[in-house]
Amino acid sequence: MPDFESMVSPAYRTFLTETPGQAEAWSVMVDGVAKASALDAKTAALAYLAVLAAQRLESGLPFHVWLAKQAGASREEVASAVLVGLPAAGLCVTHALPAALAAYDADSSESR
């Protein structure tokens, strides 16, 4: 796994370190939602990328692209997930595309 610090935003790192109780509660909720999902890991990871793109939360992309890749997603699937919201959310999702592809490619170069 690449360095966790480089994959999460400063805001999320602060959340984890400065408010550990809330961070733990958040983590429990996230794990519970994942376990309750009928989606397989790859589909869930790709869907999450679509949500991040539609919400313009680019800072979460490096970590979640890494998760998608670990679940078996290809570069093309990551790009498609980012762009799946085009009809509903509009061109705003394209803002996430460079960061998502850069994260996918960076992970590829680190694993060599």
Answer yes or no: are the C-beta atoms of 103 and 75 closer than 8 Å. no
Domains of the chain plus CATH, in order, are 4-110 (1.20.1290.10)
Q: Does residue 112 have a pLDDT over 50? A: no
As a whole number of Å, the CA-based R_g of the chain is 14
DSSP conformation class of 71: T
* pLDDT tens readout for residues 7-36: 888 999 999 999 999 999 999 999 999 999
Q: Which residue, 58, 64, 70, 66, is CA-closest to 98?
A: 58
* pLDDT tens readout for residues 65-109: 999 999 999 999 999 999 999 999 999 999 999 999 999 999 666
Name the pTM for this structure: 0.88
Q: Does residue 110 have a pLDDT over 70? A: no
